[in-house]
């Protein structure tokens, strides 16, 4: 089967790595990078570290507003897909690259498969929620990471659209595959970064912030950075690999948090796994980082009022703390307090680390004729 995969943003490279590895054992894959992320530390480093094959095409759309960015992707994807005539188009997650892939497949009548289907925040102001809802509606094959995701799709009646011949499968989480596959490598990759930052295992908090709701709202961003600075000065150092979006807004707003926060450039995946597994606490608004904290059994505070990864909260390993400084600081203090951390390890709810293989198998079993 000829599968055309579309990726474009940092988390999609990580998700695609285990699936691509499995797919290429029995299918032909054409890899398209939309160019949504383009800095070496947001893109190239993941291809090298995760041994992802070089993309066959790079659409080089770069940054822009939602309309401009998605529109350019559509414009450049359509002739390419028409020329390649794949049997299946494969999309990941919930970015503008996901949306453009879904629309292109639907308009050109190419069967569509969505990896990480069924996630919902139930917050339509969130750009990713719009992308997911559309992608799931248009997909013929929906690969869900969790039981919750399957339930979300069924509640929306997505499994029963005869025109689309929708099929829903709980396959496990491909980001869990990626963690299991790379953890040993990350460990040998050294604690070089830790040492160079003067950090000790269990001796720091790791933070990431990039959601539109937190960066595009000056009050939220100032409040979050103030919390991180307080945590860094009264408790332990905070290391903060800064997403380029956040760095730009911080510069524009003149936010300079001082020495209590170690601001660093975005790091590669192996360095990130190392920073995560050695952290005492993770504070984030990232979907992927919330899950990795859970996989690695590191307590997490999420800088949002809702999450798609509800299992991580239900288990007690993740807490939704919003963006108010005092609430974040108090929650961080709580994690350090005696007896407040969960005693049970995080339940295994994200599959067995073989989601990628399962996806490749399912795609192989379902012949093209099934969809068309």
Helix (H) / strand (E) containing 270: helix 269-278
Across the strands, what pairs with 32? 6, 57
Nearest to 363 by CA among 146, 92, 53, 87: 87
Count of alpha carbons within 13 Å of 24, Cβ hemisphere only? 13
d(CA 338, CA 316): 15
> Which of 4, 7, 8, 11 lies at the binding interface for ligand UDP (CB under 6 A)?
11
Indicate the residue among 110 and 293 with the shorter CB distance to ligand UDP: 293
Of ligand UD1, ligand UDP, none, which one sits near residue 336, judging by CB under 5 to 8 A according to partner kind?
none
The binding track of 201-230 with respect to ligand UDP, each residue x by CB under 6 A or -, is -------x-x--------------------
Per CB under 6 A, 8 contacts ligand UDP: no
Contacts of 101 (CB under 8 A, 6+ apart): 6, 73, 77, 89, 90, 91, 112, 135
Of ligand UD1, ligand UDP, none, which one sits near residue 36, judging by CB under 5 to 8 A according to partner kind?
ligand UD1
Per CB under 6 A, 286 contacts ligand UDP: yes
Per CB under 6 A, 278 contacts ligand UDP: no
Answer whether 33's CB lies under 8 Å from 13's CB: no
Restricted to residues 202-241, the positions that interact with ligand UD1 (CB under 6 A) are 210
Residue 62 Rama label (left phi>0; alpha psi -120 to 50; beta): left
Per CB under 6 A, 322 contacts ligand UD1: no
Per CB under 6 A, 272 contacts ligand UDP: yes
Contacts of 75 (CB under 8 A, 6+ apart): none
Of ligand UD1, ligand UDP, none, which one sits near residue 141, judging by CB under 5 to 8 A according to partner kind?
none
Per CB under 6 A, 44 contacts ligand UD1: no
> Which entry of 210, 220, 243, 354 is annotated as an active-site residue?
210
Nearest to 280 by CA among 243, 232, 314, 241: 232
d(CA 238, CA 199): 10
Per CB under 6 A, 266 contacts ligand UD1: no
> Which of 94, 271, 276, 311 lies at the binding interface for ligand UD1 (CB under 6 A)?
94
Indicate the residue among 230 and 286 with the shorter CB distance to ligand UDP: 286
354 included as an active-site residue: no
Per CB under 6 A, 266 contacts ligand UDP: yes
Indicate the residue among 30 and 126 with the shorter CB distance to ligand UDP: 126
d(CA 30, CA 63): 23
What is residue 273's three-state secondary structure?
helix
Per CB under 6 A, 36 contacts ligand UD1: yes
Do β-strands 205-208 and 238-241 pair in parallel, antiparallel, or remain unpaired?
parallel
In this structure, the number of other CB atoms found within 10 A of the CB of residue 127 comes to: 16
Give me the count of residues in the chain.
372
Of ligand UD1, ligand UDP, none, which one sits near residue 208, judging by CB under 5 to 8 A according to partner kind?
ligand UDP
d(CA 255, CA 233): 17
Of ligand UDP, ligand UD1, none, which one sits near residue 38, judging by CB under 5 to 8 A according to partner kind?
ligand UD1
What is residue 348's three-state secondary structure?
coil
Active site amino acids:
210
Contact residues for ligand UDP, defined by CB under 6 A: 10-11, 14, 208, 210, 241, 266-269, 272, 286-289, 292
Contact residues for ligand UD1, defined by CB under 6 A: 9-11, 36-39, 42, 63, 94-96, 127-128, 210, 244-245, 248
């Amino acid at each position: 089967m000829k599968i055309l995969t579309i990726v474009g943003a940092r988390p999609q490279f990580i998700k695609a790595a285990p699936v691509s590895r499995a797919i290429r054992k029995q299918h032909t894959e054409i890899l398209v990078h939309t160019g949504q992320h383009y800095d070496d530390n947001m893109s190239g480093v993941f291809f090298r570290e995760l041994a992802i094959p070089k993309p066959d095409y790079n659409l080089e759309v770069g940054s822009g507003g939602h309309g401009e960015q998605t529109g350019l992707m559509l414009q450049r994807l359509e002739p390419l897909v028409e020329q390649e005539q794949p049997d299946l188009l494969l999309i990941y997650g919930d970015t503008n690259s996901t949306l453009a892939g879904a629309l292109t497949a639907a308009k050109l009548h190419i069967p569509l498969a969505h990896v990480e289907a069924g996630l919902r925040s139930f917050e339509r102001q969130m750009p990713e929620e719009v992308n997911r809802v559309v992608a799931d509606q248009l997909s013929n094959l929906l690969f869900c990471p969790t039981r919750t995701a399957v339930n979300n799709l069924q509640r929306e009646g997505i499994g029963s659209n005869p025109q689309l011949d929708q099929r829903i499968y709980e396959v496990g989480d491909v980001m869990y595959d990626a963690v299991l596959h790379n953890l040993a490598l990350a460990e040998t990759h050294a604690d070089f970064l830790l040492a160079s930052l003067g950090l000790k295992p269990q001796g720091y908090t790791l933070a990431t912030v990039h959601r539109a709701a937190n960066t595009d709202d000056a009050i939220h961003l100032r409040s979050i950075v103030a919390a991180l600075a307080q945590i860094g000065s009264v408790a332990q150092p905070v290391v903060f690999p800064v997403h380029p979006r956040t760095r730009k807004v911080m510069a524009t707003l003149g936010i300079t948090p001082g020495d209590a926060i170690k601001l660093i450039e975005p790091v590669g995946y192996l360095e990130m796994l190392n920073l995560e597994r050695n952290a005492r606490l993770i504070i984030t608004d990232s979907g992927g980082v919330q899950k990795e904290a859970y996989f690695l059994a590191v307590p997490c505070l999420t800088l949002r009022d809702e999450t798609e990864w509800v299992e991580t909260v239900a288990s007690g390993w993740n807490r939704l703390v919003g963006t108010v400084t005092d609430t974040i600081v108090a929650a961080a203090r709580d994690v350090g307090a005696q007896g407040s951390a969960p005693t049970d390890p995080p339940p295994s709810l994200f599959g067995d680390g073989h989601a990628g293989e399962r996806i490749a198998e399912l795609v192989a079993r379902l012949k093209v004729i099934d969809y068309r």
